[in-house]
């Protein structure tokens, strides 16, 4: 993986080998993940798909009433889900995995707080001139642009930018879009594109930080393929509580983050893993799996700590790369070069990002 600053010579190259690993991670398409999960589920459960929830009735209690109210009514007091089309389901636990605008969250009376970033994320699948096996990301003054390897000469573009630039990118044809990506990724880093001063800074940094992994060039993008580029609003969002009697939120329903480090899905997987362990534990010790007190202790507590730490780190990263003041940008570039020249620090960062 290579990240760099659009307005200076700073860059960092992370490699799996430095961390003693065969690979740092995988870029998996949503459809591939969903079909793998569905085939793993097999016949073990009834799948009702597609389906849309029209309403859910939870046991009557406030969002802060953890455990006692539900326990007093006994496990027979179930959540009742009504689907569009009329079917009704009753269960001990509803897992709300319905994204940042979660209806299960609002029907459960759980409140989320956050803010919009005044940026949109433009996503597209592109074809590159040569096969791509590296994640490339440039921090532009308008937001980060990532070119992420998928497979067979295809990559994904995730471009966080202003609403105006996002609209312009969405309107471009396949080759025009590719040219815009190539142009944007061609600036910054140690290429000395910043005139005499920039050239001097690049030469000085090459001298001071010699021995660091060299900066490499990204594979040229030829065109977008499939659906035209599409943009989504970017936001930071966190639900005050992840659980209430008979409900647990996971993934973006509980927290949404800026995509600048590609951590959204990892956080959701972390939630799912912890919740599955909590349910298994409840079953083993004979506890009601929809008991909010149990879920708060065994699921919400540990996940809230992990999620808030990552959310804080991502929001800080976004703020640091959002400052364009030359003196601050100089310090930021120096910081990137220090990281690049310090393998133990890079290993720490990689280990945290890989979970
Ligand atoms: C532009 C952009 C780029 C991103 N890039 C990355 C990246 O590179 N890597 C990464 O890890 N993360 C990325 N993310 C974040 C990632 O997309 C989310 O973290 C992830 O999709 C959250 O998964 P989820 O299953 O919790 O929610 P979602 O993916 O939002 O899925 C929710 C599902 O619930 C369904 N649903 C909603 N309401 C109802 C209802 N009432 N009834 C029935 N079904 C319903 C929806 O149809 C949807 O299928 C990006 C986000 C954006 C906006």
Domain CATH for 288: 3.50.50.60
**Closest atom of ligand 1 to CA, residue 262:** 9
Does the residue 295 lie in any domain? yes
Verify that 121 and 202 share a domain, yes or no: yes
Does the residue 41 lie in any domain? no
Ligand 1: does its nearest atom lie under 6 Å from the Cβ of 268?
A: yes
No. of helices (H) and no. of strands (E), the chain: 11, 14
Residues 6+ apart with CB under 8 A from 130: 153, 219, 220
Question: CB atoms < 10 A from the CB of 344, how many?
Answer: 8
Verify that 130 and 223 share a domain, yes or no: yes
CA of 99 to the centre of ligand 1 (A): 5
Contact (Cβ atoms closer than 8 angstroms) between residue 281 and residue 298: yes
Confidence at residue 18, expressed as pLDDT on a 0 to 100 scale: 85
Closest to 249 measured CA to CA, from 100, 136, 32: 100
What is the per-residue burial (b if ≥16 Cβ within 10 Å, else e) of 123-155? Answer: bbebbbeeebebbbbbbbebbbbbbbbbeebbb
Please, what's the largest Cα pairwise distance for the chain?
75
Residues 6+ apart with CB under 8 A from 339: 12, 345, 346, 349
Verify that 168 and 285 share a domain, yes or no: no
Give the DSSP H or E segment for 319: helix 301-322
Does the residue 270 lie in any domain? yes
Give the DSSP H or E segment for 128: strand 112-128
Q: Atom 39 in ligand 1: which residue has the minimum CA distance?
A: 98
**Three-class SS of residue 282?**
helix
Does the residue 136 lie in any domain? yes
Confidence at residue 201, expressed as pLDDT on a 0 to 100 scale: 60
Ligand 1: does its nearest atom lie under 6 Å from the Cβ of 262?
A: yes
Ligand 1: does its nearest atom lie under 6 Å from the Cβ of 251?
A: yes
CA of 205 to the centre of ligand 1 (A): 40
Verify that 178 and 227 share a domain, yes or no: yes
> CA-to-CA distance for 244 and 205, rounded, in angstroms?
54
Ligand 1: does its nearest atom lie under 6 Å from the Cβ of 53?
A: yes
SS3 content of the chain, % helix, strand, coil (to 5): 40, 25, 35
Verify that 193 and 78 share a domain, yes or no: no
Verify that 330 and 305 share a domain, yes or no: no
Does the residue 346 lie in any domain? yes
Q: Atom 29 in ligand 1: which residue has the minimum CA distance?
A: 99
**Residue pLDDT, tens place only, 5-56:** 998 889 999 999 888 888 888 999 899 999 999 999 888 899 998 999 999 9
Q: Which residues of the chain, if any, have pLDDT below 50? A: 63, 70, 75
Confidence at residue 63, expressed as pLDDT on a 0 to 100 scale: 47
Length of the chain: 355
Contact (Cβ atoms closer than 8 angstroms) between residue 180 and residue 155: no
Confidence at residue 75, expressed as pLDDT on a 0 to 100 scale: 47
Does the residue 330 lie in any domain? yes
Ligand 1: does its nearest atom lie under 6 Å from the Cβ of 300?
A: no
Question: CB atoms < 10 A from the CB of 112, how many?
Answer: 19
Verify that 26 and 127 share a domain, yes or no: yes
The crossing angle, in degrees rounded to 10, of helices 301-322 and 264-285 is 170
Verify that 90 and 57 share a domain, yes or no: yes
Verify that 169 and 247 share a domain, yes or no: no
> CA-to-CA distance for 146 and 96, rounded, in angstroms?
30
Residues 6+ apart with CB under 8 A from 244: 58, 61, 63, 65, 66, 108, 109, 110, 292
Ligand 1: does its nearest atom lie under 6 Å from the Cβ of 272?
A: no
Ligand 1: does its nearest atom lie under 6 Å from the Cβ of 10?
A: no
Q: Atom 33 in ligand 1: which residue has the minimum CA distance?
A: 98
Verify that 66 and 82 share a domain, yes or no: yes
**Residue pLDDT, tens place only, 321-351:** 988 888 898 889 889 988 998 989 999 999 8
Verify that 158 and 182 share a domain, yes or no: yes
Ligand 1: does its nearest atom lie under 6 Å from the Cβ of 121?
A: yes
- Angle at CA of residue 216, ends 211 and 218, nearest 5°: 165
Domain around 282: 51-111+240-313
Contact (Cβ atoms closer than 8 angstroms) between residue 146 and residue 136: yes
Does the residue 107 lie in any domain? yes
Q: Atom 50 in ligand 1: which residue has the minimum CA distance?
A: 259
Ligand 1: does its nearest atom lie under 6 Å from the Cβ of 52?
A: yes
Does the residue 250 lie in any domain? yes
Verify that 120 and 183 share a domain, yes or no: yes
Instruction: Provide the number of structural domains found in the chain.
Output: 2
At residue 311, what are phi and psi to the nearest 5 degrees?
A: -60, -40
Ligand 1: does its nearest atom lie under 6 Å from the Cβ of 57?
A: no
**Beta bridge partner(s), residue 159:** 122, 145
Residues 6+ apart with CB under 8 A from 199: 192
CATH number for the domain harbouring residue 192: 3.30.9.10
- Angle at CA of residue 286, ends 283 and 290, nearest 5°: 65
């Amino acid at each position: 993986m290579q990240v760099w600053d659009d307005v200076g010579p700073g860059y960092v190259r992370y490699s799996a080998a430095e961390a003693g690993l065969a690979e740092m991670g995988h870029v998996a398409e949503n459809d591939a993940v969903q079909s793998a999960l569905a085939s793993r589920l097999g016949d073990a459960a009834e799948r009702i798909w597609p389906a849309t929830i029209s309403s859910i009735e939870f046991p009557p209690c406030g969002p802060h009433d953890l455990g006692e109210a539900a326990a007093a009514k006994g496990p027979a007091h179930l959540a009742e889900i009504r689907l569009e089309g009329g079917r009704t389901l009753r269960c001990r636990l509803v897992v709300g995995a319905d994204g940042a605008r979660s209806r299960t969250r609002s029907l459960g009376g759980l409140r989320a707080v956050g803010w919009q970033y005044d940026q949109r994320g433009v996503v597209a699948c592109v074809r590159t001139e040569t096969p791509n096996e590296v994640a490339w990301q440039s921090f532009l003054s308008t937001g980060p642009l990532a070119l992420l390897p998928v497979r067979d000469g295809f990559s994904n573009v995730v471009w966080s930018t202003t609403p105006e630039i996002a609209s312009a990118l969405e309107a471009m044809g396949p080759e025009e879009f590719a040219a815009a990506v190539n142009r944007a990724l061609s600036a910054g880093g140690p290429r000395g594109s910043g005139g005499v001063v920039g050239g001097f800074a690049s030469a000085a940094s090459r001298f001071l930080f010699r021995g660091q992994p060299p900066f490499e060039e990204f594979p040229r993008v030829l065109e977008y393929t499939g659906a035209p580029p599409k943009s989504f609003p970017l936001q930071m969002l966190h639900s005050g509580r992840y659980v209430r009697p008979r409900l647990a939120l996971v993934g973006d329903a509980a927290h949404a983050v800026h995509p600048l480090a590609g951590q959204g899905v990892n956080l959701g997987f972390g939630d799912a893993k912890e919740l599955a362990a909590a349910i298994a534990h409840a079953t083993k010790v004979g506890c009601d799996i929809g008991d909010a007190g149990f879920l708060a202790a065994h699921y919400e507590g540990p996940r809230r700590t992990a999620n808030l730490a990552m959310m804080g780190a991502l929001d800080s990263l976004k703020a640091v790369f959002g400052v364009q003041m030359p003196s601050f940008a100089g310090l930021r570039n120096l910081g990137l070069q220090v990281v690049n020249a310090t393998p133990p620090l890079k290993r720490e960062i990689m280990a945290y990002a890989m979970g």
